[in-house]
Amino acid sequence: MKRLGVVGAGAWGTALAHTACRSGLEVCLWAHEPETAAAINEAHENKPFLPGLPLDPALQATTDLARVCDADAVLLTTPAQVLRTVCQNLAPHWTAGVPAVICSKGIETATGALMTQVVTESLLHAPIAVLSGPSFAGEVARGLPTAVTLACADEALGQTIAEALGNPAFRTYWSTDVIGAQLGGSVKNVLAIACGIVEGRGMGDNARAALVTRGLAEMSRLAVALGARPETLMGLSGLGDLVLTANAMQSRNFSFGVQLGQGQTVQQILDSRTAVTEGVHTAAAVAALAEQLAIDLPICQAADAVLNRGADLNATITALLSRPLTKE
């Protein structure tokens, strides 16, 4: 595997493209905006998303979908809610047999579909893999040590992709549990918003630790109901990603929760941001899945009530803390 396409020139896509250059791959990055592609090619910088970080001069950016698909594998890094549209646009240019590596974290709100389902329905002849784990884009781009999961049902293909992407600062561990890798990366965004609310409300470290622990149980419960292996949720794409995202202001989801806990409204926070906060959308999808599968996910359902249904934050917190005590 020598040539890599990356679809999406946000912070995550740019960071992955940059680190793939470090791994010795020939990388083409697709950007929606011509000015972004031009800046990456000419100034070797993506100012809107990774300001001040020099990009590998070998990294080539384009607005041509056909060009980014001319690769041995393609990483898909666009926001989860637009991934279906992006894949439909990619489909005419896709070569059968070229792997699609999903790096987007979320669940499609309109359908409840996981990202693998979304991509499979559009790219009919693409083997599917999922890249997930604790990985802030800025740290990956700066070459700070990072470890992630590369999940693929075809273990040999997964190992090939993992070895191609990996380098000493970007450790890729392969797995065959595609469902578990996706659910961990999706649900942790909802839990991170909840943890941010705890921080913004000044509820203390004990409360955050309790929320992370009980939230991990909810994540595992949902993932196993959908066919995942429980041990996957104890790995990088589950516990690892949750620990990172639920404890740092670098996290868009955690910082969103902090602002919400400090008294701003959901709409005020959304209006102040240009980057997508996936947990807001994922909360609705997770709550819908919980209802469909008759699974009790009180933290995720409470987050959805506050984020998407206008529930009062104080009343919701009181209701959670007043739930009957039960066996762990």
Name the 3-class secondary structure at 203: coil
- Under a CB-based contact definition with an 8 Å cutoff, are residues 245 and 133 in contact? no
Of the candidates 119, 40, 46, the one whose C-alpha atom is nearest the C-alpha of residue 82 is: 119
- Ordered DSSP codes for 118-180: HHHHHSTT--EEEEESS--HHHHHTT--EEEEEEESSHHHHHHHHHHH-BTTEEEEEES-HHH
Q: Which of 2, 47, 105, 188 is catalytic?
A: 188
Is 2 known to be catalytic? no
Name the 3-class secondary structure at 28: strand
- How far apart (Å, rounded) are the C-alpha atoms in residues 317 and 298? 11
Tokens 């470890």, located at residue: 147
Q: Which residues are catalytic?
A: 188
